[in-house]
Amino acid sequence: MKKLYLIGKSLKHSISPLIHNKILSNFGIDAVYSNVELPDFEKLKEFVEMVKKDGDVVGFNITIPYKEDILEFCDEVSEDVRIIQAANTVKKEGEKLVAYNTDWLGFKRSLEEVGIDIKDKRILILGAGGAAKACIYGLYRMGVKEVFVANRTYEKAESLKEVFQDILKILPVEWLRRYEFKYDIIINTTSVGMFPNIESSPFEFENYVAGIPVFVYDMIYNPPKTTFLEEAEKKGSKTENGLKMLVYQAVEAEKIWFDIVNLSQSFLLEILKECE
Ligand code: ATR
């Protein structure tokens, strides 16, 4: 039986095995997907050694906090990983470990399905970590030419200018000044508001009088409706959480590992329902 893994520091609430094992059994693939918690960098190193030796391992997914660390163990990276400098998917290709990023694909597809017009809109991204970079890359691939980025640590928002210098304009916003300007779309890529800290929000709409965003997206899917999305809805904004992104990035990873063709819409809906 082939093996696949999700690695990360804390995976107790992860629903990735449910999604992947459902896809695998649907396609009759003799493989199992399981979680491996790695408390530190040393354990990450050991995991990579184990994977290299075990002929049954096809690949693995990576989540917080190893999406950037994993790159130093990879022999090749895809074009998008070269820019984003973070990977969520690795495939063993012969002796080599090849890094991919399917987060941006999942994000892009979920946003496309919302059906809102993003052309020439003022878009604010909250956060400047790996998730923010995948989000920005996805927006770039959808034709967006500039984005505002507010991050608690301003320097990190500013450093994204260089990361994306050849493809899109980054306009850094100081964290304390994020309520001062008008935005059409606001996207949260930080972990603020995630279970169990469900009371907190990265953007308090009560403080926001500059305008009502048309659309507000939260990459968090647990809880399904964060305080951030709840407040945005009260203001009248259309909202979307990160569940579709999670499912779609998983589908894209399976495509990389097993050359699976597109999954039917009804099967995807079945997975989404089970995750709710
Ligand atoms: P990921 O790969 O999921 O993006 P990350 O690289 O650790 O994870 O980034 C987490 C993001 O959430 C960062 O933008 C972080 O802000 P800092 O760069 O200032 O650390 C943001 N974040 C985490 N906790 C936060 C908090 N309590 N308030 C505001 N931003 C926070």
Q: Are residues 159 and 227 in the same domain?
A: yes
Q: State the average pLDDT over residues 113-128.
A: 96
- What ipTM score was computed for the predicted complex, to two decimals? 0.97
Distance 11 CA to ligand 1 centre (A): 18
Q: Are residues 83 and 119 in the same domain?
A: no
What number does the ligand 1 atom closest to the CA of 133 have? 4
- pLDDT for residue 98: 98
Binding site residues, as ranges? 14-16, 63, 79, 88, 103, 127-131, 151-156, 219, 221, 242, 249
What number does the ligand 1 atom closest to the CA of 86 have? 2
- Which residue's entry shows tokens 């070269």? 82
Whether pLDDT at 221 is above 90: yes
For a ligand 1 pocket test, name from 177, 190, 246 the mutation site with the most ligand atoms within 8 angstroms of its C-beta. 190
Q: Are residues 96 and 6 in the same domain?
A: yes
Q: Are residues 7 and 95 in the same domain?
A: yes
- Residues recognised as catalytic: 67
Q: State the average pLDDT over residues 261-267.
A: 88
Mean of per-residue pLDDT scores for the chain: 96
What number does the ligand 1 atom closest to the CA of 131 have? 4
Question: Cβ < 6 Å from ligand 1: which residues?
Answer: 64, 67, 127-132, 151-153, 156, 189-192, 202
- pLDDT for residue 58: 98
Q: Are residues 214 and 262 in the same domain?
A: no
For a ligand 1 pocket test, name from 69, 152, 163, 178 the mutation site with the most ligand atoms within 8 angstroms of its C-beta. 152
Q: State the average pLDDT over residues 25-33.
A: 96
Distance 127 CA to ligand 1 centre (A): 6
- pLDDT for residue 262: 78
- pLDDT for residue 229: 98
Distance 274 CA to ligand 1 centre (A): 29
Whether pLDDT at 263 is above 90: no
Q: Are residues 75 and 180 in the same domain?
A: no
Q: Are residues 68 and 189 in the same domain?
A: no
pTM equals: 0.96
- Which residue's entry shows tokens 């967006």? 144
**Residue 184 maps to which CATH number?**
3.40.50.720
Q: Are residues 172 and 211 in the same domain?
A: yes
Q: How far is CA 8 from its chain centroid? A: 14
Burial class (CB in 10 A: 0-12, 13-18, 19+), 213: buried
Q: State the average pLDDT over residues 165-190.
A: 97
Q: In what order do the strands lie in the sheet with 146-151?
A: 169-174, 146-151, 123-126, 185-188, 215-218, 238-240
**Residue 85 maps to which CATH number?**
3.40.50.10860
Q: Are residues 182 and 71 in the same domain?
A: no
Distance set, CA 267 to CA 14, 33, 84, 240, 272 (Å): 20, 19, 30, 20, 9
Q: Are residues 260 and 165 in the same domain?
A: no
- pLDDT for residue 95: 87
**Structural domain boundaries enclosing 203:** 105-240
Q: Are residues 115 and 176 in the same domain?
A: yes
Report the percent of the chain where pLDDT is more than 90.
97
Count how many domains the chain has. Answer: 2
Q: Are residues 219 and 248 in the same domain?
A: no
